[in-house]
């Protein structure tokens, strides 16, 4: 990661930049409809096309990927500049589908490990809005053991032949490329025989199966690879050293999910997270005996918001200065996941029946959908249990959990079926 993104910036320069961003946004980006807002992560072709169009607008105006280096299409500005863009853009439609994982997870991983040819080929394309990216990491039989990948990549001259399956890939059906972790060596312990590949998704030897969620959407997918041939030039990093690349990808993922990444782009004004004004109004309007308690709960959530913001800033600064190790991003990941569950649970409690049954066009139903999905903030980007393990072992220095297969050649590890 380029440390210059954390550089101190003159307040007068930032004030002038904010004015510049506000002027440009008002003249070039569609203002968000507060009554019937557009959802940038809707799982259809219309949403994908609109995200690409808006990303192209941002790129043409010089407000896409502000922390990326100029030599690849970015602006080489600081995280302070990016936060200004985020704050100003909250009232405008933004291409959030590009923010995670393209800009903030797969993007910085390629920025760190890619060859110069790979960086010149891929980074400008996603900054322009031409290509969306996704991660092919989890597997149906793997659970949280990503290093136990069974998807295999067998060397065949100047190419690799890939067979296997990946799952829980966000919007894979709308994306163009993926970073995929596959096993290239079965005779060494599991962490030492993996390789990261750049994979074109819309390939005749890849089957993509969308997975329907509880709210009817199809955000996640499962993929099947049937003798998929990938050229060796698509290896990211070194052959058999894919775990090094994957570890950094997971670092960027936790930072993005927890709000500590300099590479995310835009955020929309939420219902239960930003200012909590609507929830506070609901609590004030309650005329029963729970009014006082509910107001205290809203105040607690506002405190969580402030802690979340300050914790993110502290962790970012700590990692940049070396005071905190890189895995400290898990602190933000853990706090953000747990506090999000509290926010969505209280929003549901305040909305009561309106979050269970609503008329078409009413927004209260979104609170009910969010409540049903509330645990996803404790799963996506690595579970909260994994975050606790990382904090205990890699930050606090506590003993690692025992693992019988840690030094065992992978082809000797017992497996079901």
Q: What DSSP line would sit under 190-221, residue for residue? A: GGGSEEEEEEESS-TTEEEEEE--TTS---EE
Mean pLDDT of 234-245: 98
Smallest CA-to-CA distance from 227 within 206, 198, 248 is with: 206
Confidence of residue 416 (pLDDT cuts 50, 70, 90): low
pLDDT: which is higher, 31 or 6: 31
Q: Which one has a higher pLDDT value, 398 or 318?
A: 398
Radius of gyration of the chain from its Cα atoms, rounded to whole angstroms: 22
Cα 247 to the chain's mean position, in Å?
Answer: 15
Given a cut of 90, is residue 166 above it in pLDDT? yes
Higher-confidence residue of 298 and 208: namely 208
CA atoms within 13 A on the CB side of 108: 27
User: Which pTM does this prediction carry?
Assistant: 0.86
Walk me through the domains of the chain, giving residue ranges and CATH numbers.
3-99+107-130 (1.10.540.10), 134-246 (2.40.110.10), 270-395 (1.20.140.10)
Residue ranges in 240-290 assigned as alpha helix (H): 242-258, 277-285
Binning pLDDT at 50, 70 and 90, where does residue 272 land?
Answer: very low
What is the arithmetic mean of pLDDT over 137-157? 91
> Model confidence over 247-259: pLDDT tens digits?
999 889 888 877 7
- How confident is the model at residue 417, as a pLDDT? 53
> Tell me, what's the pLDDT at 109?
98
DSSP assigned state of 36: S
93-120 average pLDDT score: 96
Helix, strand or coil, per DSSP, at residue 314:
helix
Answer yes or no: is pLDDT of 260 > 80.
no
Q: What pLDDT score was predicted for residue 229?
A: 98
Which is more confidently placed, 358 or 251?
251
Type and span of the H or E element at 26: helix 11-28
Q: Which range scores top for mean pLDDT: 38-52, 118-132, 304-318?
A: 118-132
Mean per-residue pLDDT, 176-190? 97
pLDDT (0 to 100) of residue 161: 98
Structure confidence at residue 237 (pLDDT):
98
Task: Tell me the CA end-to-end span of the chain in Å, nearest whole number.
Answer: 42
- Would you state the pLDDT for residue 273? 42
Percent of the chain with pLDDT over 90: 53
* pLDDT at residue 281, as a whole number: 76
CB 65 within 8 A of CB 82: no
Least confident of 219-223, 225-229, 337-341: 337-341
Q: 275 or 297, which is more confident? A: 297
For residue 209, what pLDDT is reported? Answer: 96
362-381 tens-digit pLDDT: 777 778 888 888 888 888 77
Q: If you average pLDDT over residues 230-237, what whole number do you get? A: 98
Closest CA to 207 of 167, 249, 149, 244: 167
Higher model confidence: residue 272 or residue 175?
Answer: 175
Quick one: tokens of 328?
């400290």
pLDDT of residue 1: 57
Each residue of 288-298: pLDDT tens digit? 777 788 888 88
Smallest CA-to-CA distance from 251 within 50, 243, 225 is with: 243
Of residues 231, 171, 230, the one with CA closest to residue 206:
230
Give the 3-state secondary structure percentages of the chain, helix then strand then coil, rounded to 5: 50, 15, 35
pLDDT tens-digit profile of 57-79? 999 999 999 999 999 999 999 98
Q: What are phi and psi of 160, to 5 degrees?
A: -125, 140
Tokens of 52: 């690409």
Q: What pLDDT shows up at residue 274?
A: 47
């Amino acid at each position: 990661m380029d440390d210059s993104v954390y550089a101190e910036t003159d307040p007068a320069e930032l004030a002038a930049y904010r004015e510049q961003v506000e002027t440009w946004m008002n003249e070039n980006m569609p203002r968000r409809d507060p009554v019937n807002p557009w959802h940038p992560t809707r799982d259809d072709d219309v949403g994908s096309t609109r995200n690409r169009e808006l990303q192209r607008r941002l790129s043409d105006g010089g407000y896409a990927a502000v922390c990326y280096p100029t030599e690849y299409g970015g602006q080489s500005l600081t995280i302070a500049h990016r936060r200004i863009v985020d704050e100003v853009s909250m009232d405008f439609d933004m291409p959030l589908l590009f923010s995670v994982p393209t800009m903030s997870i797969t993007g910085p991983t390629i920025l760190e490990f890619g060859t110069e040819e790979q960086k010149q080929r891929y980074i400008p394309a996603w900054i322009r809005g031409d290509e969306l990216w996704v991660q092919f990491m989890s597997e149906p039989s793997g659970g949280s053991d990503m290093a136990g990948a069974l998807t295999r990549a067998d060397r065949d001259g100047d190419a690799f032949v890939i067979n296997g399956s990946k799952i829980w890939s966000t919007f894979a059906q709308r994306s163009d490329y993926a970073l995929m972790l596959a096993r290239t060596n079965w005779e060494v312990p599991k962490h030492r025989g993996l390789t990261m590949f750049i994979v074109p998704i819309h390939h005749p030897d890849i089957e993509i199966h969308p997975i329907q969620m509880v709210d009817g959407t199809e955000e996640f997918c499962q993929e099947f690879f049937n003798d998929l041939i990938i050229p060796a030039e698509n290896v990211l990093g070194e052959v058999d050293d894919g775990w090094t690349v994957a570890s950094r990808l997971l670092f960027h993922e936790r930072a993005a999910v927890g709000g500590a990444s300099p590479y995310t782009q835009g955020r929309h004004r939420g219902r239960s997270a930003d200012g909590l004004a609507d929830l506070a109004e609901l609590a004030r309007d309650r005329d029963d005996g729970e009014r006082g308690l509910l107001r205290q709960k809203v105040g607690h959530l506002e405190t969580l918001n402030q802690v979340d913001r300050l914790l993110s800033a502290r962790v970012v600064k700590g990692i940049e200065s070396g005071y905190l190790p890189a895995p400290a991003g898990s602190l933000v990941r853990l706090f953000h996941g747990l506090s999000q569950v509290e926010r969505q649970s209280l929003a549901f409690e305040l909305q009561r029946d309106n979050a269970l049954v609503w008329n078409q066009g009413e927004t209260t139903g979104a609170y009910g959908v969010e409540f049903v999905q509330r645990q996803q903030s404790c799963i996506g980007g690595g579970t909260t249990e994994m975050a606790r393990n990382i904090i205990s072992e890699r930050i606090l220095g506590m003993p690692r959990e025992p693992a019988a297969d840690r030094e065992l050649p992978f082809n000797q590890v017992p497996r079901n079926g």
